[in-house]
Amino acid sequence: MSPAPQAPAPKLLFGFHAVSVRLKVAPESIIEVLFDASRHDARMRQFLLRAQEAGARLIEADGLRLSKLCGHHGHQGVVARVNAVVQQRSLDGLLESLTAAGTAALLLVLDGITDPHNLGACLRVADGAGAHAVIAPKDHAAGLNATAAKVASGAAETVPYFMVTNLARTLDEIKEHGIWCVGTSDDAPSTLYRCDLRQPLALVLGAEGTGIRQLTRKRCDALVRIPMLGAVESLNVSVASGVCLYEALRQRTAPG
């Protein structure tokens, strides 16, 4: 008889936003919250009150201990050990539910984004624009670690992040759900603002400088570019994601 699969190891979340959102959406997953006992400011007092109301186990610590846990000093005096929140739906399940509800999908696909800071920023803008999921390949991509969760400011807890084995094949499967795949490329003949983004949509973005890979590019139904009128040639991927997602949101919410 094969052994039972092991549960994922606990992970760390740090920073007020990331831990506060976990307290809100999945308080039962929190093992303990360590906080800098030397901080007595209003923000810390409000955070501790929310943590107590959520029933979290609170442990006093000093800044040095928290920095050793995180590996840096960007924790803001708050670190939580948490169990992984089980992803409730597969990507297929998510797409089927959107179709059943008559909701036009809005997906962000990231190809080759290896910096967790960029991933966190992309998750944050995806949450703000109402994207239904962020998708990335398992290889050559940033995982959802504590740094990404901190930068995401809580969006890592609200936006599904699917890491897939084969991105090109996943794009084919997405298209089978009636979703239009639009990639960004500096050499695209048309701009983002001439593209109809109101239909079910997956926006595909690559790393700054290198862009989306050739195999990914071939799977896109259309390619668009973001107009660059100044001296710089490209935007950071999180900025470009914000431009694209919010243009889709603008078109979908415009009167008429």
3 state SS for 150-196: HHHCCHHHCCCEEEECCHHHHHHHHHHCCCEEEEECCCCCEEHHHCC
Residues 6 or more apart whose CB falls under 8 angstroms from that of 216 comprise 111, 167, 168, 171, 183, 204, 206
How many angstroms separate the Cα of 15 from the Cα of each of 19, 172, 248?
6, 38, 30
What SS3 state is found at 46?
helix
Alpha carbon distance, N-terminus to C-terminus of the chain:
61
> Phi, psi (5° rounding) for residue 224?
-135, 160
Determine if the pTM surpasses 0.85.
no
Same fold, 11-82 and 91-253: no
- pLDDT value, residue 174: 95
Q: What is the CA radius of gyration of the chain?
A: 20
Please tell me the predicted confidence (pLDDT) of residue 1.
38
Residue 30 token pair:
């929190």
Which class is domain 11-82?
Answer: alpha beta
Residue 18, pLDDT score? 82
Topology at the third CATH level for domain 91-253: Alpha/beta knot (3.40.1280)
23: amino acid identity, one letter? L
Q: What is the pLDDT along the chain (256 residues), one digit of tens a residue?
A: 334 444 567 888 888 888 888 888 788 889 999 999 999 999 999 999 999 999 999 999 998 999 988 887 788 999 999 887 665 578 998 998 888 888 999 999 999 999 999 999 999 999 999 999 999 999 888 888 888 988 887 788 889 999 999 999 999 999 999 999 999 999 999 999 999 999 999 999 998 778 899 999 999 999 999 999 888 878 899 999 999 999 999 999 988 6
Strand partners of residue 161: 134
Domain range list for the chain = 11-82, 91-253
